[in-house]
Amino acid sequence: MSRAVSGLFGRIAVALALAATAYGVTSPVLAADAELIARGEYIATASDCIACHTAPGGAAMAGGLALSTPIGAIMATNITPSKQNGIGNYTLKQFDAAVRKGVRADGKLLYPAMPYTAYALLSDDDVAALYAYFMNGVAPVETRPPETKLPFPFDIRLSMAGWNLLFLDKRPFDPDPAHDTDWNRGAYLVRGPAHCGTCHTPRNLFMGEQASSQMAGGDVGPWYAPNITSDPNSGIGGWSVEELVAYMRDGHVAKSQAAGPMAEAIDNSLRFMTEPDLKAMAVYLKTVPPVRDPADTQPVFAWGRPSDDLASIRGAAWPQDRDQMNGPQLYDAYCASCHQVQGQGSFEGGLPSLVHNTALGRQNTNNLVMVILNGLHRQPDVLMPGFARELSDTQVATLGSYLIQNFGNPAAKVTAAQVATLRAGGSTSTWPVWAARVGLAVAVLVLIGLIALLLRWRGNRRLATQH
Amino acid sequence: MADRLSADFVVVGSGIIGSLAARKLALAGASVIILEAGPRVTLAELVARFRNSPRRSDWMSPYPSVPWAPHPIYQPEPNNHIVQAGAYPYAAEYIRQVGGTSWHWAAHAWRNLPNDFRIKSLYGVGVDWPFGYDDLEPFYQEAEEIMGVSGADNTGSPRQKPFPMEPVAEPYAMRRLRERLAPEYEVVSNTTARNSRPYDGRPACCGNNSCQPICPINAQYHGGLSADAAEAAGARLIANANVYKLEHDEKGNITAALYYDPDRASHRVTGKTFVVAANGIESPRLLLLSTSDKFPNGLANSSDMVGRNLMDHPSTSLTFDADEDVWLGRGPQSPSSINVMRDGPFRSEHAPYRLDFTNISRVDGATRALIAAGVYGSELGKRLRYSAAREMNVKNVLEVLPDPERRITLSSEKDEMGIPKPEARYSIDDYTRKGHERSQQDFQRIANLMGGSNLRFSKEGEFANNQHICGTLSMGNDPRTSVCDQWGRAHDHENLFLAGTAVLPTSSTCNSTENGLAVALRSVAHVLEQQGASTSATGISKS
Amino acid sequence: MEKFVDLAGSPNPTRRLLLFGLASAYTASLIPWALAQEVTESDQSAFQTLSSILTGWRSLDAAQGKRLYAALVADDPGFPAAAKALLAMIEQRKTDPMQLQEVLDEEKSPLALVPWRIVTAWYMGIVGDGSKARCLAFETALNAEVVADVLKPPTYAYGAYGSWTSKPR
């Protein structure tokens, strides 16, 4: 609590100083209430705006990050209060429309790469705070990212209207009187600003979130955002509230360590949230209706036992063809130095145990492969190296299978073809959180495609009729 | 034929210094070819070799000599790669493989003390360097930022910029040493190329306690990473290319490097500028091998100084049992030192030294010793635990002065490739011996302060070697007494640069890698500056 | 005979346990002749018994014993006979393991190298000399097991960065 909050106030002070420098005494918004701005910054952090709206190494909120999709890049915009290049001219009403309804100041529709379906739940007060923060707490940056230019027919933004009709619920969060304040606060944060469902809720045919399977797990590019329903086997039902809080705050507990997009969400957002808010989110998550994968016959964190196969490899030379290396040899060479001889982790658990670890207990092994390939990186100082350069697809498959067989759910599988696909779809660097939204962008494009087809079909029919 | 190889710069040797010199040249836009005698070996394979080795305490055991690029091996049978012809054997170890010998260093990355550059002027011994501490300071920094060096400021080497990283967390055993020695000695954290936080995509140290022979997680910098970086910068690295001769034109400029592949087929690589960075023994060997009518004594050798002034850091040591459990082996191997005897007026009389505390696990060594002493039964486990918990060791790292009589020459014996072997004439002189004698007082005092018992001094007259080979291609201002100038340029050849620890004119009390690397980076900066001034003439081309 | 008393009855078992924190598998009070009576005809089991006496470990891993035994036999075909002879000698004379090497050396016994080989195999995981030496075990060698509560074998991480600064348990 104290760390996050004191950090917050420190940054607010800096931000205010910056704002004062930038605007001088003539600024009409200088008088904005510091407390309101602070709250706005907190909501911005909880909403993880920075993840998409900041290019690597670029100025905060100045945009420029290209969200690559199969049909082109969607460019994150400059949302600093620059009047020429950012949102400096936005009124509160325009700002609200963009955040909660996906409508730009010029009336054009945003692509739902911007998670406005979640932000729609934001309260009026929080939107006002967010506005105060963006106008006063963010330094204006005078750079303009290139416009998003998708090829026809995907450039017809109006087509989002239909999608919005289906998937955008425009009402702010409505507290449920059947639950206590903690639960309601948690529900608000999880479903609203923190937009957990954007990644963790599976998508329907039109790539809208499946209302019936909230938080049941979804693909995020090459990564898999796991089931975080209250189911004790497939989800987080077997986690204590304390464990969930620790995971969101620190990125790791004994049974699970955040990697990939989740690590980024923690780095940028969750670790800065207050302890009571994290607790509220945990309380809510533990009530999300359970969804179980029948394959999860026991909790995904309960598989495996410490074991080794050293007797088969000590004193034996490696095969000339490295693709013929067996699981114990690969484990010995690439994993055991940290995860130890029997996968048990270090004395105090600082280096995680692979036994009883969610990383090896799920049917979906994409995250396992992604971590072997790209490693695991979290702020401020967690780094597991990746082995994309060192290991072939066959080796990763052999190693992954060995890990699952010994320390995880032996019913799961890792194949060389899967590794090749993920290697091609992944980047050697960490996958940024915005990758999570690519699926959404693709959804939109699919829909536009359908609409376009429909239009052409109608057009053709009309032409045919005229003949 | 397809094998026409040519580049702006041809670098012989892919060790930490050759590779990082190549990298810097490549980053500046030059085309660079690196020729490495030995094979490529992966980190994972080295770790597996260590764990499967029947000689775990022989740190060369994961690095076997290959027939096409032999290097010295002493166990289980010596391969006599270095023929011994001196008063004292020079049992140097080095590794011929991509990345070179720093695959198994302790990653000590000390800077010299400012006075180390002027021991002739100050103390009347050795020689002065052709430049001073301040001239090298920016390049120390550059080296430290590339390698990722962690350290503390209390080591006597002033700096303009902070260390890239805080010192690595102090192992418990070293804390106890520091605390208990405090009344008389300041125990300081070693300056090491070891991560105290994630750095450059590599993790922080996890205390694997195998810095030598191999850090399994790349928390410690090594030449394999340098070679990777050179290739990433655009240099072309050819492994298994054993350079056996350099050719020159009528003006004495180097024109080509000839190398053998593992099948002993010869290949020719041409270039505009040549950098020899093949280690303190193999570099002079190559120059001595490259004889011609014009240079009958080999290249860069009109002064007859190639291979002379061989220096290293001999060590003697004390092992004792502390009166408390300290358990060496938790954390990195080489964390702490005492620096008070690295400089002072005494240097006119005897060798300075750094006192080095090991944190290497005692388990394997104690096991062997106990079994050899016939300790069997339940007593064995009990005593092993005692030794593992209590044993401590301190060693000195003694300066050796340059002496032309200590040298590397060519032997009449030939290696597997039919190339004359290096021959060593080495000795331990009174200057070094007196330093050793002086250090015994410190050893005794340290043991006393730790409540030490069962004191075991290393055998009198025996000096362990530290593989800090230097001096054999000394730089200096006088072409009659040195091989190259202060920029590493051979006095005799306009386009031949020498890099590596061989160019260091004195050995000081610093592990040689950081010094050698900083000097090489300074040389490359000079080359680039000079050639940048006349790019067309010297032919730095964008590759 | 007195020597055995000394070995069997530790003068201060509590202090010893505190001092060394020995694992339960570790036999601080091994009585060699008691084990020796359990010998069966099998060479392997004779080896296992002899190994327990020489290493001071009552419950040695049987699979590891098989591998080590096979390697020792491969290294020296005379090993099975030598091992049995050594076991018989210890059984007959009730020799204290701590005195064994001295006795063998004094008698210039042809068995003088046998205990060294066996203990090296179990404690170091190494069988054979010089260029014939082979590694059969590293992490599971007894010298790693003896200190496993405090130290990891070299190349294995002690723990997360800085975990080694604390006082060992």
Q: Where are the domains of chain A?
A: 1-139+151-164, 310-436
| Among C60, C145, C163, the residue to mutate for chain A (most A Cβ within 10 A) | C163
Instruction: Say how far apart CA C28 and CA C8 lie, in whole Å.
Output: 8
Which chains have at least 3 CB atom pairs separated by less than 8 Å from chain C?
A, B
pLDDT in tens, C15-69: 333 333 333 333 333 434 444 434 344 889 999 999 999 999 999 999 999 999 9
The confidence band for A220, taking pLDDT boundaries of 50, 70 and 90, is: confident
Residues of B in contact with C159 (CB under 8 A): 206-207
**Is A377 one of the annotated binding-site residues?**
no
Which residues of chain B neighbour A333 with C-beta distances below 8 Å? 44-45, 47-48
Is A356 marked within a binding site? no
Contact status, residue B204 vs residue B195, Cβ threshold 8 Å: yes
Q: How many CB atoms lie within 10 A of CB B264?
A: 13
DSSP state of B475: B
User: B197 contacts in A (CB within 8 Å)?
Assistant: 380-381
Q: How confident is the model at residue A157 (pLDDT cuts 50, 70, 90)?
A: confident
In this complex, is the C-beta atom of C22 within 8 Å of any C-beta atom belonging to chain B? yes
| Structure letter (DSSP) for residue B329 | T
Non-local CB neighbours of B265 within 8 Å, separated by 6+ positions: none
* Segment 65-124 of chain B within 8 Å of chain A by CB: none
CA nearest B330 in C: which residue?
Answer: C164
Tokens in use for A16?
């205010």
B24-28, long-range: CB < 8 A, 24+ apart:
B24/B521, B24/B524, B24/B525, B24/B528, B25/B235, B25/B524, B25/B527, B25/B528, B26/B230, B26/B233, B26/B234, B26/B235, B26/B543, B27/B233, B27/B234, B28/B528, B28/B532, B28/B540
Q: Is the pLDDT of residue C102 over 60?
A: yes
Eight-state DSSP code of residue B194: B
A195 annotated ligand binder: no
Residue spans of the domains in chain B: they are: 165-213+315-399+429-462
Let me know if B71 is a catalytic residue.
no
Q: Which of B277, B282, B202, B286 is nearest to B244 (CA)?
A: B286
Tens of pLDDT, residue by residue over B463-490, are 999 999 999 999 999 999 999 999 999 9
Shortest alpha-carbon distance between residue A337 and chain B (Å): 7
Strand-pair category, A66-69 with B496-498: unpaired
Rounded to whole angstroms, the Cα distance separating C116 from B513 reads 41
Question: In the structure encoding, which two tokens stand for residue B502, read together?
Answer: 């061989």
Helix count and strand count (H, E) for chain B: 12, 16
Alpha-carbon distance B155 to B140, whole Å? 14
Q: Which long-range contacts (CB under 8 A, 24 or more apart) does A93-101 make?
A: A95/A127, A95/A130, A95/A131, A95/A134, A96/A127, A96/A131, A99/A127, A99/A130, A100/A127, A100/A170, A100/A172, A101/A164, A101/A168, A101/A170
Chain B residue with Cα closest to C125: B54
Sheet-wide strand order for B83-84 = B83-84, B420-425, B407-414
Provide ipTM, 2 decimals.
0.94
The pLDDT > 70 percentage for chain A reads 81
Q: Across the interface, which of A337, A382, A384 has its CB nearest the CB of B208?
A: A337
Least CB–CB distance from C164: residue in B214, B331, B372: B331
Distance CA C148, CA C87 (A): 29
Residues of chain A contacting residue C159, judged by C-beta atoms under 8 Å apart: 346-348, 350-351
Distance of CA C137 to the CA centre of its chain: 13
- What is the model's pLDDT at position A165? 75
Q: Do residues B167 and B137 make contact, with C-beta atoms less than 8 angstroms apart? A: no
Report the candidate in A230, A214, A238 with the shortest Cα–Cα distance to residue A285.
A230
List chain B residues with pLDDT less than 70.
1-3, 533-543
Distance CA B509, CA B212 (A): 20
- Chain C residues with CB under 8 Å of B196 CB are 161
pLDDT of residue C143: 98
Give residue C4's identity as a one-letter amino acid code: F
Q: How far is residue A421's CA from residue A419's CA, in Å, rounded to a whole number? A: 5
Burial class (CB within 10 angstroms; exposed 0-12, middle 13-18, buried 19+) of C159 = buried
Is residue B319 within a helix (H) or strand (E), and if so which, with residue range? strand B317-321
**C-alpha–C-alpha distance, residues A178 and A114, integer Å:** 31
Q: Chain B residues with CB inside 8 Å of A334's CB?
A: 44
> How many A×C Cβ pairs under 8 Å?
50
From the list A278, A206, A207, the residue with the least C-alpha distance to A240 is A278
Backbone conformation region of residue A436, classed left if phi is above 0, alpha if psi is from -120 to 50, else beta: alpha
The whole-angstrom distance between A38's CA and the closest CA on chain C is 35
Contacts of A38 (CB under 8 A, 6+ apart): A8, A9, A12, A133, A137
CA-only gyration radius of chain C, Å: 17
Q: Which CATH architecture has domain B165-213+315-399+429-462?
A: 2-Layer Sandwich (3.30)
Residue with tokens 């960075």: B277
Residue C41 to chain B, least CA–CA distance (Å): 23
Alpha carbon distance A201, B236 (integer Å): 48
Angle at A102 between CA A98 and CA A103, to 5 degrees: 65
Q: Which of A315, A341, A350 sits opposite C156 (nearest CB)?
A: A341
3-state secondary structure (DSSP) of residue B354: strand
Interface residue of B42, B51, B56, B225 to substitute, partner A, most A CBs within 10 Å? B51
| Å between B365 CA and nearest CA of chain A | 20
Q: Which residues of A touch C (CB under 8 A)?
A: 308, 310-311, 314-315, 336-338, 340-341, 346-348, 350-351, 381
Residues 6 or more apart whose CB falls under 8 angstroms from that of A50 comprise A44, A60, A61, A268
Would you call B170 and C146 a contact, using CB atoms and an 8 Å cutoff?
Answer: no
Element containing residue B446 per DSSP (H, E): helix B430-449
Inter-chain contact B206–A338, Cβ cutoff 8 Å? yes
Q: Is A252 annotated as a binding residue?
A: no
The pLDDT, as a whole number, for residue B182 is 97
Q: Mention the CATH class of domain A310-436.
A: mainly alpha
- Sequence-separated (6 or more) residues with CB below 8 Å from residue A93: none
Mutate: best of C152, C165, C169, partner A, most A CBs <10 A: C152
Report yes or no: B79 at the C interface, CB cutoff 8 Å. no
The 3-state DSSP class for residue C53 equals helix
- The catalytic position among B350, B468, B491, B493 is B468
Question: Which residues are registered as beta bridge partners of B267?
Answer: B259
Distance from C-alpha of B14 to C-alpha of A270, rounded to nearest angstrom: 45
Domain boundaries, chain C: 2-165
Compare CB distances from A310 to C140, C155, C158 and report the shortest one's residue: C140
Residue with tokens 């999608």: A163
**What is the spatial distance between Cα C77 and Cα C72, in angstroms, rounded to a whole number?**
8
Specify the length of chain A in residues. Answer: 467
Question: Three-class SS string for chain A?
Answer: CHHHHHHHHHHHHHHHHHHHHHHHHHCCCCCCCHHHHHHHHHHHHHCCHHHHHECCCCCCCCECCEEEECCEEEECCCCCCCCCCCCCCCCHHHHHHHHHHCECCCCCECCCCCCHHHHCCCCHHHHHHHHHHHHHCCCCCCCCCCCCCCCCCCCCHHHHHHHHHHHCCCCCCCCCCCCCHHHHHHHHHHHCCCCCHHHHCCECCCCCECHHHCCCCEEECCEEECCCCCCCCCCCCCCCHHHHHHHHHHCEECCEECCHHHHHHHHHCHHHCCHHHHHHHHHHHCCCCCCCCCCCCCCCCCCCCCCCCHHHCCCCCCCCCHHHCCHHHHHHHHCHHHHCCCCCCCCCCCCCCCCCCHHHCCCCCHHHHHHHHHCEEECCCEEECCCCCCCCHHHHHHHHHHHHHHHCCCCCCCCHHHHHHHHHHCCCCCCCCCHHHHHHHHHHHHHHHHHHHHHHHHHHHHHHHHC
Of B45, B198, B216, the CB nearest to A383: B198
Bridge partners, residue B5, by sequence: B269
Tell me the average pLDDT of chain A: 86
3-class secondary structure, B453: strand
Q: Note the pLDDT of residue A10.
A: 40
User: Tens of pLDDT along A229-241?
Assistant: 999 999 999 999 9
How many CA within 13 A on the CB side of residue B193? 35
- Cβ-Cβ contacts under 8 Å for A442 (sequence gap 6 or more): A69, A70, A207
Chain C neighbors of B206, CB-CB under 8 A: 157-161
Q: Read off the pLDDT band of A451 (50, 70, 90).
A: low
Question: Which has more confidence, A149 or B416?
Answer: B416
Question: C27 CA to chain B: closest CA distance, Å?
Answer: 6
Residues A388-411, mean pLDDT to the nearest whole number:
97
Q: Which of A111, A3, A100, A105 is nearest to A47 (CA)?
A: A100
* Overall average pLDDT of the C135-145 stretch: 98
Is A377 within 8 Å of B196 (Cβ atoms)? no
Q: What confidence category does residue A133 fall into, taking pLDDT thresholds of 50, 70 and 90? A: very high
Query: pLDDT band at C12, cuts 50/70/90?
Result: very low
Question: CA–CA distance from A324 to each of A318, A365, A392 (Å)?
Answer: 9, 22, 11
Please, are residues B16 and B226 in contact by the beta-carbon 8 Å criterion?
yes
Whether A171 shows a pLDDT value over 80: the answer reads yes
Instruction: Single out the residue of B517, B495, B516 nearest to residue B507, CA to CA.
Output: B516
